[in-house]
Structure 1
């Protein structure tokens, strides 16, 4: 999905084939931005976030192209059965996709963000990864997902420190419990509502907000 009005900025979205990623890509395209929609099959640029070689190839393909906003949205949930059903391979796969891939993408696309005008890196996290709030009203047994999002939040804080010298803001955002393939039909938040709230936060982000963790409705989420 690519707009011809690149002067309004370039936005790269991972996991753009469906759900929240597709909604965010659509909103930015409608706003007149050039959107680089990354997904495993189809899209503007093929990307398998589970494969470090694919991430490196993305950086090589986009070498020299300014990018204003990078949205690390691609994620998986993994097993939800609790400690008894936890399996090593599933746990490591969730960590690889949800926590490691955003770091590798941040490294690969740092020069592109440095060359961009807006300079914003977004990690789509989850309140489920908050040590303070993640289990207050949520007893799901998804150990891997929770651990991966907690790790992603730490990645946000570290990247915010490292990227500040480049003028790049790095934030974690909680999209809410969204009605998507991952969230399920019982989820409380419509995907369009979540995407609109996230876009508003992203568009208002400056270095002053770097290293923060907020929900789609603007509320600050405790780490």
Structure 2
């Protein structure tokens, strides 16, 4: 399996969880230097904002089967609202959070098709839900919200397109997680979220493809 943004936060906890459960984890991170391989983790450098880096990763993994790809890498960008909205910042967030998962899905599709039961899990956010995204949440993060809404549509479209190949595609909300992005007031420990998300992914099949669920299994309205 492969996890992006695995060097810290939720990505790190996902990598640790799966490795601890006996999976061989290809852990991808932009950080330099990378941690040493070991304990079930095989580290690869990946800058998801760079299509050339994605292509290089895919070339290096050619011929290797993948059962699960977790698109976890994300950035938040400006949170000041309309007054501080910046075009370059907005596009950078969209590139990482919405475009990169699509490019990775395309690049790693041969690996997933060679696996036992291919699953693409996109770590989305309730903040990207048109129906629920602003319930008790008035943060001014236009770029992040729009990027996650775009990722949700990408999930639905990929689910439709990849169903004939037997690939399951999920959008998952990890909760308000205690990470650098989540902040000090966040409610859900990263380890708890990672374990719950892994449970959902482990139970998912083609019938769940195209769904949007929270880490506790509850469905989220688009």
- Superposition TM-score tier, normalisation by shorter sequence: over 0.9
**Partners of 1:129 and 1:161 in 2: how far apart?**
20
The 5 A counterparts of 1:55-74 are 55-74=54-73
Superposed displacement of residue 80, structure 1: 0.3
Q: Which residue of 1 aligns with 2:40?
A: none
Partner of 1:189: 188
- Aligned residue number for residue 135 of structure 1: 134
- Aligned counterparts, 1:70-149, within 5 A: 70-149=69-148
Counterparts of 1:37 and 1:147, CA distance in 2: 27
> Is 2:19 the counterpart of 1:29?
yes
* Runs of 4 or more consecutive aligned structure 1 residues displaced over 4 Å after TM superposition: none
After superposition, residues 211-222 of structure 1 pair within 5 angstroms as: 211-222=210-221
- In the other structure, the counterpart of 1:5 is none
2:39 — aligned with what? Answer: none
Consecutive unaligned residues of structure 1, counting only runs of 5 or more, are 1-10
Q: Return the alpha-carbon distance in structure 2 between the equivalents of residues 130 and 197 of structure 1.
A: 20
CA distance in 1 between partners of 2:136 and 2:201 (Å): 27
Name the stretch that deviates more: 40-49 or 103-112: 40-49
By how many angstroms is 1:118 displaced? 2.3
In the other structure, the counterpart of 1:210 is 209
Partner residue, 1:17: 7
Deviation string for 1:181-214 (max 9, x for gaps)?
0001100111111111101000001000000000
Which secondary structure does the structure 2 equivalent of 1:65 belong to?
coil
- The normalised TM-score by structure 1 is 0.95
Give, in angstroms, the shift of residue 145 of structure 1: 0.0
Shift of 1:71: 0.1
The alignment covers a number of residue pairs equal to 213
RMSD: 0.6
The secondary structure found in structure 1 opposite 2:83 is helix
For the residues of structure 1 that align with 2:20 and 2:191, how far apart are their CA atoms? Answer: 13
